[in-house]
Structure 1
């Protein structure tokens, strides 16, 4: 740690790079910030300290002031946010999600390519042990990577080879001030129980056990990357439009089957991935193997996996999306996983394309779920037809009807049922129109 050039050398940081660093004000992040300060003299990097006030302890405002004051003293840019309100989610998961969203905003503001966090070897041990106990994915069992490549930046954790004690000794030697979060000692939090009761046992067996955990993490990540590369080649063959095709899926090797499900869930849950574990994968696998032609299971965040013959659809629960109404702008992602997009031209003329003239309509247009009593004046037809009857005649599965989009104008006139039926407002390819919408 003393040789900061050697510490940061593996990460190929270039002269003049901007680095965003997450700083709580505790001993770990203050140690990292001071190391970067030394490194700044060598590489002329720009450091941005990003601090999140979680607003759950009386001392949090003073901690923010402490970090800000230290940054001002050392000419470090300081960015902060305060979390005003939490939802009903798991506190730790939600706080982490908000924190990383904020870090990403700061990264984009300063056009940085690197986010550094002060995770150390003890943090990695705790995470791996918690996930082994709780159940997770192959990637999850590996904890977190030393270097994680995101869409347009990297997350670097340069302190994984060191322990909490190492960092506290560094702070003491270099007289680095820091604050203590007393909630870290309360055993009501799961991580704190692991920290207090399990880590001392492992360290008594081997003081450098954190390096074994780091090696374990890297091996799992390497295997995970290998499997991931194969999964992406297979995924589009068995899953698209939020639908898993069971027959094609069952042709895969068992290890690829479970990984396909993991990958699908990762794409759906994204920042809420902590809500998912191997139990949910097993539930979906049991649903696939079930002899029932029509069945469903609930997943976290009001998501449902719905089996219909040889397909599994993973969608928001009807309870959550019923009654949805969205203003139809240039592009809309629908609750059923499909999309509506305004285009300038289209060669096809099926029910997946609507050609409309704004002069005939009360704008703006909206897309919504069906409502009781909805009727549509058919294209080249007299009178109106009930939307309910149209769904029945087109054999739309009951599970799909509540999510199926209905396009209406501002007066509530049904203009189009995408993919199924056009209204009297639709124009032929030869007629003038100034609105073309494609459903896919």
Structure 2
């Protein structure tokens, strides 16, 4: 019996139906009509408050409008509050180029949320059933989904200011059809459900019958699988967040950088979820084209013996490996070279928000520099000071070394990320002699000379 199976599912998932205020999504088909009837029968016993919401997506002209009128008439006969919307989804598809099923779902759920807000109800009941669950899991596995996505349709999840719940996930479509027949319900049938142009319909019409021939209870096993995956995922996600908080070096709205060494110390299962966590944060809405294969590529980049490399993900997200750092960032505007002069004391603000300050110190005994600084005898420096980006062939006479060294080699030895090298400040004197690479290396000109009383103090603020 339908009622017993639903009660068993609710009990197993510790879901209390009593005193719920809910919007019920009703298309007029067998699944949703059976759901409405079941909930309405439970109304007095469970103290339920029910409003029906129906969306005409306007794909089938008069036929789909008659579906709406059918649901409206049914609600009027039973005294059930009814809300409906006619949404020109074909027009939305033409304008946005979205997939028809994606556009329909978005339009439908947006209306459901509006109805929930209007009545101040915090639950949305939907008629997804066990066959839908099997189809969804198979489709996602076939598409390459990973993590919680493999679990298919959740029994309940947050939605708007409340929750969606689906009490029919332990039932088959045939059981719902039988319930409709037993209760003298005559639902509307959408002919598009038979068309094989939709991938779900191909799974429904070709794959599902084969599985049911092998085991008529296959939907129950898929539902158990779904619940186990979701429960395991909750624990794994908690562990992933804990570990990822320790490996993230930078976390911004459009960029995240992690330290590869502690990341590789995490179990593989947490590594994959850590990457997925980053993608979820940066994308906000995961692109349809993103799959488990992309996560494999990111892991290969991390494990590659080469210290640098890049990977392009969908929608302009770049993954950049630089030594022990891995950065996820959306395409940035090309960095332009810059050059600023400091003829005397003052501050230069750099394009990336950093700054260089210059001070003249007349008494070396009063020098108490703090932070990232360099100190030069004033009589050895030709003003103005220039602060610029690197140039081809730049060389520097390093403090404590004889001869000069290429800036390119200094950057490599200091493991400066490739994407930072073209914007790193290079400080020279009037003659182009490189005095300082802030935060990296000082030149042989830097330091206190006891025969000099006046000094130039440069300070770098990140």
Q: TM-score over 0.5 for the alignment?
A: yes
1:75-113 deviation digits (Å, cap 9, x = unpaired): 223243513413234443444344334433433333322
Does 49-58 or 232-241 show the bigger shift?
A: 49-58
Query: Structure 1: where are the runs of 5+ without partners?
Result: 323-368, 403-439
Which residue of structure 1 lines up, in the alignment, with residue 29 of structure 2? 26
How much has 1:5 moved relative to structure 2? 8.8
Q: Secondary structure at the match of 1:154?
A: strand
Kept in 2, the 8 Å contact 1:29–1:117? The answer is: yes
Q: Secondary structure at the match of 1:301?
A: helix
Cα separation, partners in 2 of 1:170 and 1:45, compared to 1, 3 Å: same
Kept in 2, the 8 Å contact 1:18–1:46? The answer is: yes
What CA distance in whole angstroms lies between the structure 2 residues aligned with 1:127 and 1:376? Answer: 63
Cα separation, partners in 2 of 1:44 and 1:281, compared to 1, 3 Å: same
What CA distance in whole angstroms lies between the structure 1 residues aligned with 2:207 and 2:60? Answer: 26
Matches within 5 A, 1:35-434: 35-58=38-61, 59-74=63-78, 75-80=80-85, 82=87, 83=89, 84-86=91-93, 87-149=96-158, 152-239=161-248, 240-241=251-252, 242-272=256-286, 274-318=288-332, 387=351, 393=388
Query: Deviation above 4 Å: which 4+ runs of structure 1?
Result: 2-5, 7-10, 149-152, 291-294, 369-377, 384-402
Aligned length: 353
1:236-269 deviation digits (Å, cap 9, x = unpaired): 1123332233222112111111111122223334
Q: Secondary structure at the match of 1:148?
A: strand
Q: Secondary structure at the match of 2:92?
A: coil
Cα separation, partners in 2 of 1:63 and 1:151, compared to 1, 3 Å: closer
1:361-401 deviation digits (Å, cap 9, x = unpaired): xxxxxxxx999999999xx959x988599898488978589
Cα separation, partners in 2 of 1:4 and 1:193, compared to 1, 3 Å: closer
Kept in 2, the 8 Å contact 1:19–1:48? The answer is: yes
Larger radius of gyration: 2
How much has 1:61 moved relative to structure 2? 3.0
What CA distance in whole angstroms lies between the structure 1 residues aligned with 2:66 and 2:272? Answer: 47
Q: Secondary structure at the match of 1:305?
A: strand
How much has 1:212 moved relative to structure 2? 1.3
Kept in 2, the 8 Å contact 1:121–1:211? The answer is: yes
Kept in 2, the 8 Å contact 1:121–1:164? The answer is: yes
What CA distance in whole angstroms lies between the structure 2 residues aligned with 1:89 and 1:305? Answer: 27
How much has 1:136 moved relative to structure 2? 1.4
Cα separation, partners in 2 of 1:23 and 1:264, compared to 1, 3 Å: farther
RMSD: 3.8
Kept in 1, the 8 Å contact 2:53–2:115? The answer is: yes
Q: So what's the TM-score if we normalise by structure 1?
A: 0.69
